[in-house]
């Protein structure tokens, strides 16, 4: 009898999404156990790299959201160490961490429509703010109002503002300037519907429509409130959902995200024109996360979903 590879779920991490990652990773380890797969958990921090590598793990389930676990760094370490892992590779992870770069690629490959957007580095944004009378007219002329100002490399809706008037620009840019190496993104505001698609190994599992009580799907709606509505399938019709699934499959193809489960966020305007927003390469896997909801409707219970993702580790 051959024994199964020594498996670990990598959770925690150093990003702002640490607590969510602990919930995701714990849920995954429990689900794997229900599926008959023994897996340890390891609380990741970049300073624990040597300790991690000393355990002789042979297979890694990455359950880290944001930071080194989602930006390609952990993936690169595992590549060098020759340890197979779940999900997308180093290059795809680092591209998808940058909402502007990933939109650029999706646009250039013709995979899906994207909102109009442009960027400023944080040092450039800060020097405009420090001039005392910041002039945003070049950006407003190009993007129009309302627009969305947000950090290009963060998640969980942190630092996202919908700007209706020019006078709100300074505060919005300040909120999005999270760190000196951030990029501030200015994006056409899409008013209508909020949607997400889960794909497993490049094939769409289904659509979830999100109906937040506030104006947008903010941090509170994601993690604290219980009055956000989630509809799978969406209320926008089977044809619309099918179209969105095809777009999601084209996006993950263009961004090389066809391994494991990823979540692709879209918006649709009132005429149901869809726009690609971002790919989450390590989506939440807690009991109230979107991917497990979509997978359940597609006939995969959580233990089955987790064991299928693990089977694809490479």
Of 263, 275, 289, 300, the catalytic one is 263
Cβ proximity of 142 and 118 under 8 Å: yes
Cα–Cα distance measured from residue 86 to residue 106, given in angstroms and rounded to the nearest whole number: 23
Question: Applying CB under 6 A, which part among 23-31, 55-63, 71-79, 152-160 lies near ligand ADP?
Answer: 152-160
* 30 annotated active-site: no
Q: Is 190 in the site for ligand ADP (CB under 6 A)?
A: yes
Select 249 or 265, whichever has its Cβ closest to Mg ion: 265
Name which position in 17, 70, 182, 187 contacts ligand ADP (CB under 6 A): 187
From 16-24, 88-96, 171-179, 189-197, span contacting ligand ADP (CB under 6 A) = 189-197
Q: Is 154 a catalytic residue?
A: no
- 155 binds ligand ADP, rule: CB under 6 A: yes
DSSP string, 102-114: HHHHHHHTTSS--
Examine residue 70 and tell whether it contacts Mg ion (CB under 5 A).
no
CA triplet 98, 255, 203: central angle to 5 degrees?
125
What's the min distance (Å) between Cβ of 53 and ligand ADP? Answer: 30
Long-range Cβ pairs for the range 133-137 (8 Å, 24+): 134/169, 134/170, 134/173, 136/166, 136/169, 136/173, 137/166
Residue 70 interacting with ligand ADP (CB under 6 A): no
Q: Kindly state whether residue 265 participates in binding Mg ion, applying the rule CB under 5 A.
A: yes
Site size for Mg ion (CB under 5 A): 1
Binds ligand ADP (CB under 6 A): choice among 28, 267, 282, 294: 267
Q: Is 175 in the site for ligand ADP (CB under 6 A)?
A: no
x/- site string to ligand ADP, residues 95 to 134, per CB under 6 A?
----x---------------x-------------------
Query: Does 20 contact ligand ADP by CB under 6 A?
Result: no
Residue pair 165/110 in contact by the 8 Å Cβ criterion: no
Determine, following the binding rule CB under 6 A, whether residue 265 of this chain makes contact with ligand ADP: yes
CB contact set of 146 (below 8 Å; sequence gap of 6+):
162, 163, 164, 189, 191
Residues 193 and 182: their CA atoms lie apart, in Å, by 28
* Segment near Mg ion (CB under 5 A); pick from 131-139, 202-210, 228-236, 260-268: 260-268
- Residue 13 or 115 having the CB closest to ligand ADP: 115
Residue 225 a catalytic site member: no
- Region binding ligand ADP by CB under 6 A among candidate stretches 41-49, 136-144, 148-156, 167-175: 148-156
Strands (E) in 237-295, as ranges, are: 261-269, 274-280
Confirm whether 217 is a catalytic residue.
no
Q: Of these, 189, 276, 300, 302, which contacts ligand ADP (CB under 6 A)?
A: 189
Residue-wise burial string across 20-31, b where 16 or more C-beta atoms lie within 10 A, e elsewhere: bbbbbbbbbbbb
| d(C-alpha 113, C-alpha 111), whole Å | 7
163 binds ligand ADP (CB under 6 A): no
Longest dimension (CA), the chain: 73
Using CB positions, name the residue nearest to Mg ion. Answer: 265
* CB of 158 closer than 8 Å to CB of 99: no
Contact 212, 194 (CB under 8 A): yes
Q: Which of 161, 166, 221 is nearest to 187 (CA)?
A: 161
**25/151 with CB nearer Mg ion:** 151
Residue 223 annotated among the catalytic residues of the structure: yes
Annotated active-site residue 156? The verdict is yes
Residue positions annotated with a catalytic role: 17, 156, 223, 263, 265, 278, 280, 284
């Amino acid at each position: 009898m051959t024994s199964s590879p020594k498996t670990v779920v990598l959770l925690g991490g150093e990003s702002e999404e640490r607590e969510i990652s602990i919930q995701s990773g714990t849920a995954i380890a429990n689900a794997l156990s229900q599926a008959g797969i023994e897996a340890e958990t390891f609380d990741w921090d970049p300073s624990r790299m040597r300790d991690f590598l000393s355990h002789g793990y042979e297979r890694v389930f990455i359950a880290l959201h944001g930071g080194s676990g989602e930006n390609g760094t952990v993936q690169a370490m595992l590549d060098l160490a020759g340890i197979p892992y779940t999900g997308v590779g180093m290059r795809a992870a680092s591209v998808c961490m940058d909402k502007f770069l990933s939109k650029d690629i999706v646009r250039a490959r013709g995979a899906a429509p994207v909102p109009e957007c442009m960027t400023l580095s944080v040092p450039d944004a800060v020097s405009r703010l420090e001039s005392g009378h910041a002039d945003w007219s070049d950006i407003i002329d190009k993007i129009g109002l309302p627009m969305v100002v947000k950090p290009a490399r963060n998640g969980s809706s942190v630092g996202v503002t919908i700007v209706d008037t020019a006078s709100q620009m300074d505060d919005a840019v300040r909120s999005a300037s999270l760190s000196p190496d951030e990029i501030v993104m200015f994006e056409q505001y899409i008013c209508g519907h909020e949607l997400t698609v889960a794909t497993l190994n490049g094939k769409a599992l289904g659509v979830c429509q999100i109906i937040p009580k506030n104006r947008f799907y903010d941090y509170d709606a994601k993690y604290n409130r219980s009055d956000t509505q989630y509809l799978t399938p969406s209320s926008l019709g089977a044809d619309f959902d099918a179209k969105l699934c095809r777009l999601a499959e084209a996006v993950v193809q263009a961004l090389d995200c066809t391994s494991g489960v990823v979540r692709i966020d879209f918006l649709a305007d009132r005429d149901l024109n869809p726009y690609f927003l971002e790919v989450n390469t390590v989506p939440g896997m807690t009991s109230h996360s979107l991917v497990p909801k979509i997978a359940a409707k597609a006939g995969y219970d959580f233990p089955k979903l987790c064991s299928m993702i693990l089977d694809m580790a490479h």
